[in-house]
Amino acid sequence: MKYDIKINKTTAPKARPEDESKLGFGRIFTDHMFLMDYNTEEGWHDARIVPFGPLPIHPASTVLHYGAEVFEGMKAYRAADGSIQLFRPMENVKRLNKSAERLCLPELDEEGCLDIIKTIVELEKDWVPHSEGTSLYIRPYLFGNDPHLGVHAVKNATFAIICCPVGAYYAEGLNPVKIAIESEDVRAVRGGTGYAKCGGNYAASLRAGERAERNGYTQVLWLDGVDRKYIEEVGAMNVMFKISGKIITPALTGSVLPGITRKSCVELLKDWGYEVEERLFSVDELFDALENGTLEEAWGTGTAAVVSPIGNLFYQGKEYTVSDNKIGELTQKLYDNLTGIQWGKVEDTHGWIEPVCNG
Ligand SMILES: *Cc1c(COP(=O)(O)O)cnc(C)c1O
């Protein structure tokens, strides 16, 4: 089912950034945004693309008081022939609905949601940057919007999409990052909202992230919320380790976000003949592998950075170096293949690419 999208184009288009090396992340927005409202009587209605601008919001709105919000993060890429494409967008749509279900927010028709995403990307196609490594970041988000303070499943909601041209994540090539293992704060617990992509998880993770940054680390490596023993994620990325030739990644226990990059890496690694273990993986096991020299590579995976090599690990007063603080061979191969498929330079044998329009 497709939603009936009304398009109200801006009469004052903005100047697009000329220097694509200075795009950064999430600070520049395109000319339009998508909005759609929900209430229990009418369901989803009034799908519209309007000029980008502030959202009026009731001071009692559910999202402001109880954090009822879920979101997605995906990118539109410009291929060599100028055409514009998405990477596994239906995975984002399905995950958005799973996140919404966890927070008692209304779900979207999947085909309809994908059609909305393609419609706004096509309308904003001139905003998809051209330089190597750049893309148009797409942020769909859905929030509870009841105009009163009672605590219950919402009767009113809003679905919105905003888009930002974003720069190459690694301006100076694929650099290994320093990671602090967090033993105090936790991001999520089993039975909680860890598997949902919701704003609340990020709010809970900010303090440890700030602390790590103050101490000179880029990201936090999260341990499970019950035993503080099992590795879950690194920052807002999933994490993988190569130990004695095998790949180990934390199992999706409910507190780990099921990343689409994670899933794609697992599929590629299996294609290449690697054994991939999705299981509970403890910090003790990680440090055994570090100490006996069997830890070959470690990296994070996520849409923003694609693959992020880990060069240093800090835990309880000690610092350890991984892969001599260099990018591992397999980490680089994953990065090259995934980005190659996304930018249309490597053949897409999995059917992961969804074309949107010509350039
Ligand atoms: C979005 C996200 C990821 C990565 O998911 P991708 O689909 O690969 O972008 C990992 N962890 C958290 C907490 C996230 O929010």
The β-bridge relationship of strands 32-39 and 43-51 is: antiparallel
Task: Give the residue, out of 257, 263, 339, 352, with the most ligand 1 atoms within 8 A of its beta carbon, to mutate for a pocket test.
Answer: 257
Instruction: Give the CATH fold of the 177-342 domain.
Output: D-amino Acid Aminotransferase; Chain A, domain 2 (3.20.10)
6-166 carries CATH number 1.10.1060.10: no
Gap from CA of 117 to ligand 1 centroid (Å) = 19
Gap from CA of 74 to ligand 1 centroid (Å) = 10
Gap from CA of 271 to ligand 1 centroid (Å) = 22
- Closest atom of ligand 1 relative to the 237 alpha carbon: 10
Q: How buried is 336 (Cβ within 10 angstroms: 0-12 exposed, 13-18 middle, 19+ buried)?
A: middle
All structural domains of the chain with their residue ranges: 6-166, 177-342
- List Cα–Cα distances, 207 to 187, 210, 232, in angstroms: 10, 5, 17
Gap from CA of 147 to ligand 1 centroid (Å) = 31
At residue 316, the pLDDT reads 86
- Closest atom of ligand 1 relative to the 302 alpha carbon: 8
Residues 164, 155 contacting (CB under 8 angstroms): no
- Closest atom of ligand 1 relative to the 95 alpha carbon: 7
Q: Measuring CA to CA, which residue among 25, 24, 45, 27 is closest to residue 35?
A: 45
The Cα–Cα gap between 284 and 296 comes to: 16
Gap from CA of 58 to ligand 1 centroid (Å) = 30
Nearest residue (by CA) to ligand 1, atom 5, is 259
Question: Three-state SS string across 78-132, please?
Answer: ECCCCCEEEECHHHHHHHHHHHHHHCCCCCCCHHHHHHHHHHHHHHCHHHCCCCC
Structure tokens at 92: 């984002």
At residue 173, the pLDDT reads 67
At residue 174, the pLDDT reads 79
Gap from CA of 237 to ligand 1 centroid (Å) = 5
Task: Give residues with Cβ within 8 angstroms of 267, minimum separation 6.
Answer: 350
Q: How confident is the chain (359 residues) per 10-residue block, as mean pLDDT?
A: 97 94 93 98 98 97 97 97 97 98 98 98 97 95 96 95 90 83 94 97 96 94 95 96 98 97 98 98 95 95 95 91 93 96 96 96
Gap from CA of 233 to ligand 1 centroid (Å) = 9
Residues having CB within 6 Å of any atom of ligand 1: 73, 197, 233, 236-238, 257, 259-262, 301-303
